[in-house]
């Protein structure tokens, strides 16, 4: 990936810089894959995985850090996220980013991990005509007990270990990234968060991937997508794999993604 530029958007009544990195931008006629990171992710935390996916799928790529993450503008000191935080990313931030990058006329493929997968689903349900397809890894469509339990463990680790220092390698403000994610997931009203009813509006093909040993969710998440999505849905359930299939089983994910995009790509005359 090239040195990340920044896109400027207006969000929550202030100017926000969004860290971006492009992959193979010279392939003007190739499909575009937009990568949406997990709850503690960033451009840098993807490492070279997006480039490998784009090479295998003969695609361009856009990787970005959401507000509060990576080199993007951190959360304001008084900014707290509410139960609708993923909806706001899908309905407000992503359209603003696409507009800033002059991608309004494109129909990208969205590749989302964990929270990024949920945001991808929400974007495709709100804007069904603006996305070509989805690849979602370990997405959440409702809140499970094991998810909350492991996020509580992460909170303890952040307070009592060197996790903050480790996250500092990937974020300008580790506190912004960690607490923005952790506090809302542990906020009691968030236990009722559920996007199952919105999935029926999705019209594009979906590849939903989950590790059988996922510590943050059960297979009910991706099976629920298959049962409710308005478009076609393929499932990939990977053994010996936890919450990050692209790290635990990268080759399986790359091959499946490239095959899925090739098979479902709309050919232009």
Instruction: Quickly state the pLDDT bin for 1 (edges 50, 70, 90).
Output: low
pLDDT above 90 for 137: yes
C-alpha to C-alpha distances, 129 to 107, 123, 189, 234, nearest whole angstrom: 8, 10, 32, 20
Instruction: Quickly state the pLDDT bin for 4 (edges 50, 70, 90).
Output: low
Instruction: Quickly state the pLDDT bin for 269 (edges 50, 70, 90).
Output: very low
Q: What is the pLDDT of residue 169?
A: 96
CA distance 75 to 80: 8
Strand (E) or helix (H) holding 235: strand 233-238
- Two tokens, residue 26: 């010279």
CA distance 264 to 47: 26
pLDDT in tens, 159-207: 999 999 999 999 999 999 999 999 999 999 999 999 999 999 999 999 9
Q: Please choose, from the candidates 250, 236, 208, the residue with its C-alpha nearest in 3D space to the C-alpha of residue 121.
A: 208
Which range among 75-84, 151-160, 223-232 shows the weakest confidence by mean pLDDT? 75-84
Q: For each of the domains in the chain, give its residue range(s) and CATH number, in order of start.
A: 6-263 (3.40.50.1820)
pLDDT above 60 for 267: no
CA distance 112 to 136: 5
Q: What is the pLDDT of residue 79?
A: 84
Give residue 164's Cα distance to chain centre. 22
Do residues 19 and 101 lie in contact, with contact meaning Cβ atoms separated by under 8 Å?
Answer: no
Burial 189-223 (b: 16+ CB within 10 A, else e): ebbebebeebbebbebbbbbbbbeebebbeeebbb
Do residues 142 and 193 lie in contact, with contact meaning Cβ atoms separated by under 8 Å?
Answer: yes
Instruction: Quickly state the pLDDT bin for 40 (edges 50, 70, 90).
Output: very high
pLDDT in tens, 49-87: 999 999 999 999 999 999 999 999 999 878 889 999 999
CA distance 163 to 249: 24
- Average pLDDT on 226-232 reads 93
Percent of the chain with pLDDT over 70: 97
């Amino acid at each position: 990936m090239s040195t990340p530029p920044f896109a400027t958007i207006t969000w929550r009544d202030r100017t926000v810089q969004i860290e971006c990195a492009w992959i193979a931008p010279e392939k003007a006629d190739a499909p575009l894959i937009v990568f949406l990171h997990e709850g503690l992710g960033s451009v840098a935390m993807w490492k070279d995985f997006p480039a490998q996916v784009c090479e295998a799928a003969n695609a361009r790529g856009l990787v970005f850090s959401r507000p509060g993450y990576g080199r993007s503008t951190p959360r304001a000191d008084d900014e707290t996220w509410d139960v609708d935080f993923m909806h706001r990313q899908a309905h407000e931030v992503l359209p603003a980013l696409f507009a800033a990058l002059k991608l309004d006329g494109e129909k990208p493929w969205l590749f989302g991990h964990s929270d990024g997968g949920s945001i991808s689903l929400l974007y495709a349900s709100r804007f069904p005509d603006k996305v070509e397809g989805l690849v979602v890894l370990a997405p959440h469509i409702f809140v499970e007990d094991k998810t909350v339990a492991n996020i509580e463990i992460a909170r303890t680790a952040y307070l009592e270990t060197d996790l903050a220092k480790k996250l500092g390698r990937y974020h300008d403000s580790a506190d912004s990234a960690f607490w923005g994610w952790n506090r809302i997931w542990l906020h009691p009203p968030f236990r009722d968060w559920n996007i199952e009813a919105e999935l029926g509006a999705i019209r594009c093909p979906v590849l939903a991937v989950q590790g059988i040993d996922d510590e943050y969710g059960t297979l009910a998440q991706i099976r629920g997508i298959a049962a409710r999505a308005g478009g076609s849905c393929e499932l990939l359930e990977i053994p010996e794999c936890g919450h990050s299939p692209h790290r635990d089983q990268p080759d399986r994910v790359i091959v499946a993604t490239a095959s899925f995009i090739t098979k479902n790509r709309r050919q232009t005359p």
